[in-house]
Amino acid sequence: MKNMMYGQAVNEGMCEEMARDQNVLLMGLDVEKMGGAFGQTAGLYDQFGPQRVVNMPISESGYTGAGVGLAMMGKRPIVELQFADFGAYAFDSIANQAAKTRYMSGGQWSVPMVIRAVQGAGFGAGAQHSQCIEGWFQNVPGLKIVAPSTPADAKGLMKMAVRDNDPVLYLEHKALLGIKGDVPDGDYTVPLGQAWVAREGKDVTIISYQLMLYRCLEAAAELEKEGISVEVIDPRTLLPLDRETITASVQKTGRALIVHEHPTRGGFGGEIAAVINEDCFGMLKSPVRRLGAVNAPLPFGGAEQYSLPNKDSIMQMVKGLL
């Protein structure tokens, strides 16, 4: 067991998989000597050289498409998008090419690639550099979506994403890159589709992930002082979703709140709410509620905090459920 930052855990996961399998390569903007925009690829160029750590031109559509071709020819590329917002440029390569190839070829071709994208608020970087994009991609059959919240999951899910034979959208959160946590030694992996019960409780279930998970845990600790017991579930992967863990919790508590950073409208919370209604409707004591960002572009600078859920708004919503 060792203590490391979230960003370091991403790096270690990639490094171990590149050492394990020579077909794993990394491509993106400034990933060589600069180490990427936030440093997660630092040192990989020195270890693996220019054939496996490759700088790309500023054309997310072009080099993501190149990654699809490499994956079809037997490589396992890790494609880095400096900011998740740039996934809009790469949308066709991901949604219409990578995710559909296995189906359209009758299983003759697969696209084992990872698209790494740093998302979320926390740096005040404005409306075009601070978005969460899972809502954009959740309706793409054939695509898997990973959203780690802790350093241990950042490493364990990275290793499993690289080994998966289908395209995986691996979403890192920029506000979490510097948080520290214990990461198991050895070939540590976290299966895709396995949620984590971050806090046990009996009155209300909160489902949340990434930055919002920590705000929900803060709210749960405050609510405990008032005699309200909150269970907090971190899905860890959105596609595939661990509906069994989520519904088991809601069947126990009878109340559910989904909190995410994406705007409430069209966010992944709607999908989780549908799952809960399908599996737990007769056991619900109150309607399923969602809490996300306001339906507006994120403002620049410190003002972005007023667009997002916080401890107080989460506590207020939980009390409303009761």
User: Over the chain, what HEC string results?
Assistant: CEEEEHHHHHHHHHHHHHHHCCCEEEEECCCCCCCCCCCCCCCHHHHHCCCCEEECCCCHHHHHHHHHHHHHCCCEEEEEECCHHHHHCCHHHHHHHHCCHHHHCCCCCCCCCEEEEEECCCCCECCCCCCCCHHHHCCCCCCEEECCCCHHHHHHHHHHHHHCCCCEEEEEEHHHCCCEEEECCCCCCCCCCCCEEEECCCCEEEEECCHHHHHHHHHHHHHHHCCCCEEEEECCEEECCCHHHHHHHHHHHCCEEEEEEEECCCCCHHHHHHHHHHHHHHHCCCCCEEEEECCCCCCEHHHHHHHCCCHHHHHHHHHHHC
Average pLDDT over residues 118-140: 95
Among candidate residues 242, 244, 219, the one with its CA nearest the CA of residue 230: 219
To 10 degrees, the CA torsion angle through 182, 187, 193, 196? -20
pLDDT in tens, 81-92: 999 999 999 999
- What is the mean predicted confidence (pLDDT) over 1-27? 97
Q: Is the pLDDT of residue 143 over 90?
A: yes
- Catalytic annotation, pick one of 129, 173, 260, 262: 129
Percent of residues, the chain, with pLDDT higher than 90: 98
CA distance 322 to 44: 51
pTM over 0.95: yes
pLDDT beyond 90 at 29: yes
- pLDDT for res 137: 97
Cis peptide preceding 77, ω within 30 of 0? no
Which of 174, 166, 125, 127 is closest to 147 using CA atoms?
Answer: 174
CA distance 287 to 296: 25
Measured in whole angstroms, how far is the alpha carbon of residue 223 from the centre of its chain?
27
Query: What does the pLDDT average to over 302-311?
Result: 95
Q: What is the pLDDT of residues 256-288, one digit of tens each?
A: 999 999 999 999 999 999 999 999 999 999 999
pLDDT (0 to 100) of residue 158: 98
Q: Work out the average pLDDT over 174-187.
A: 96
Q: pLDDT band for position 224 (50/70/90)? A: very high
**Does residue 262 have an active-site annotation?**
no
Pick the closest to residue 158 from 321, 7, 1 (CA basis).
Answer: 7
pLDDT at 150: 98
Give 267's Cβ-side CA count (13 Å radius). Answer: 21
* Average pLDDT of the residues in 38-51: 96
Question: In the chain, which residues fall in CATH 3.40.50.920?
Answer: 196-321
How many C-alpha atoms does 228 have within 13 Å on its Cβ side?
22
- Which CATH number, 1.10.3720.10, 3.30.465.10, 1.20.1440.230, 3.40.50.920, labels domain 196-321? 3.40.50.920
**Domain spanning 2-183, CATH class:** alpha beta
89-122 burial, b if ≥16 CB within 10 A, otherwise e? ebbebbbebbbbbbeeeeeeebbbbbbbbbbbbb
Is the CB of residue 133 less than 8 Å from the CB of residue 86?
Answer: no
Mean pLDDT of the chain: 97
Q: How many residues does the chain have?
A: 322
What is the arithmetic mean of pLDDT over 183-192?
Answer: 95
Determine what percent of the chain is predicted with pLDDT higher than 70. Answer: 100
pLDDT at 186: 87
CATH 3.40.50.970 maps onto the chain at 2-183
